[in-house]
A and B are shown apart, each in its own frame.
Chain A
Amino acid sequence: AQSVSQHNHHVILSEAASLELGCNYSYGGTVNLFWYVQYPGQHLQLLLKYFSGDPLVKGIKGFEAEFIKSKFSFNLRKPSVQWSDTAEYFCAVNALSGTYKYIFGTGTRLKVLA
């Protein structure tokens, strides 16, 4: 069965600090990979996605993620966080065969201190 693991449940950073959130997935086939963000009181929004090609993908608001196939990982990074990045971040996978559902990790709650 597919699964997604996010290792950091709560992260607290000061503004301008660098961010890296871990995500590992379990699935033997080809997948699409996503990072979603949920700001307080808002709906889930796409941050970035990987389908194929360059394993380093850039998303909105200066976020990027690197797909490492050998490690089944898709870690999210941002060189310098801002107070407005305070939110919950979810990694998700979507298999390209069989079931088409999106499987989410448990999320990482990020708090950025001004």
Chain B
Amino acid sequence: DTGVSQNPRHKITKRGQNVTFRCDPISEHNRLYWYRQTLGQGPEFLTYFQNEAQLEKSRLLSDRFSAERPKGSFSTLEIQRTEQGDSAMYLCASSPELTTEAFFGQGTRLTVV
């Protein structure tokens, strides 16, 4: 399968713990996006990478969230000191260039208890 791969698919964590998610984009896609989706809502933009450079981060994003994309390949999203409000589906998407669609992964469902 050469689509966008996200791991883990599900994560249950206790409030206050740190979690890290991984995204492997489609090979040679230089643009990578992280989104968050809650029930009944559309995907909400979190951050965007072009190669290894993080070019935009949502102003709504708490400083507990951090993302990296070393060497412009896979990306990780870390949430520190998780809160119950962080419970959501975290989506990763990639695209080869601006004038095309984004390809989405299956997502990581986070539950904070």
Contacts and interface: CB of A to CB of B under 8 A. Distances in A.
Interface of A: 4, 6, 9, 32, 34, 36, 42-46, 49, 51, 90, 92, 94, 96, 99-107
Contacts of B16: none
B13 to A, nearest CB: 22
B31 A44 contact: no
B104 A43 contact: yes
Contact of B40 (A42, A46, A102, A106): A106
Contact of A44 (B41, B48, B104): B104
Contact of A104 (B42, B50, B55, B103): B42
B46 to A, nearest CB: 9
Interface residues of B, number: 24
A96 B42 contact: no
Interface of B: 31, 33, 35, 40-45, 48, 50, 55-56, 91, 93, 98-99, 101-107
Nearest to A102: B102
B56 A107 contact: no
Contacts of B91: 43-44
